[in-house]
Amino acid sequence: MQLIFTKKNGKYDHLSIVKGGQEVGNIDCPKQGIIPHDMVHYGVENTLRKRGFISRIHAGKKATLQMQAEAESDGVERLVEVFQADGWSGWQTPAEDMLELYQVTCDARHCPALQVKPEDVESVRCELLRLSSLWSAVAIGDSLTLGFDLQA
């Protein structure tokens, strides 16, 4: 599956999702000052091999903003939110603090937390920094294509 992120003028970037040569989804991505939200999903899911939004689309679910609740996917969403907050703060929050915030966020949303260790946080952050570097080099109107495979 390919995730094609296109940098646009205005308030939104764009994500096209292609699977088996067919476009299976299009999402407008609100600009947030860091990489797009769904690119954070890619970084978390691809690094930790957890089932979230991107994995569910890969498995055949329709790409919608509201998917049916699913424990692992909900845990991934909370983790993505924590990494976004880290990005807005300069990607330097100590891993232990991020894990504490993750647990508080999961508890507040009545969602089981994934088993995530400080070294997992650092691995994901490293990937998100790599993606940030790639994305910052993309000009308006150009795209960044990321491959996603559950078997990798």
Q: pLDDT per residue over 83-104, tens digit each? A: 999 999 999 999 999 999 999 9
Q: Render pLDDT for 69-85 as a digit per residue (tens, 0 to 9).
A: 678 899 999 999 999 99
- What's the DSSP call for residue 66? S
Higher pLDDT, 24 or 6: 6
Q: Using a pLDDT cut of 70, give the percent of the chain over it.
A: 94
- In sequence order, what are the residues at sequence separation of 6 or more whose Cβ sits closer than 8 angstroms to the Cβ of residue 144? 4, 5, 7, 134, 135, 138
Closest to 111 measured CA to CA, from 56, 68, 81, 74: 74
Supply the pLDDT for residue 30: 93
Supply the pLDDT for residue 119: 98
Supply the pLDDT for residue 64: 59
- In sequence order, what are the residues at sequence separation of 6 or more whose Cβ sits closer than 8 angstroms to the Cβ of residue 44? 50, 52, 76, 79, 80, 83, 124
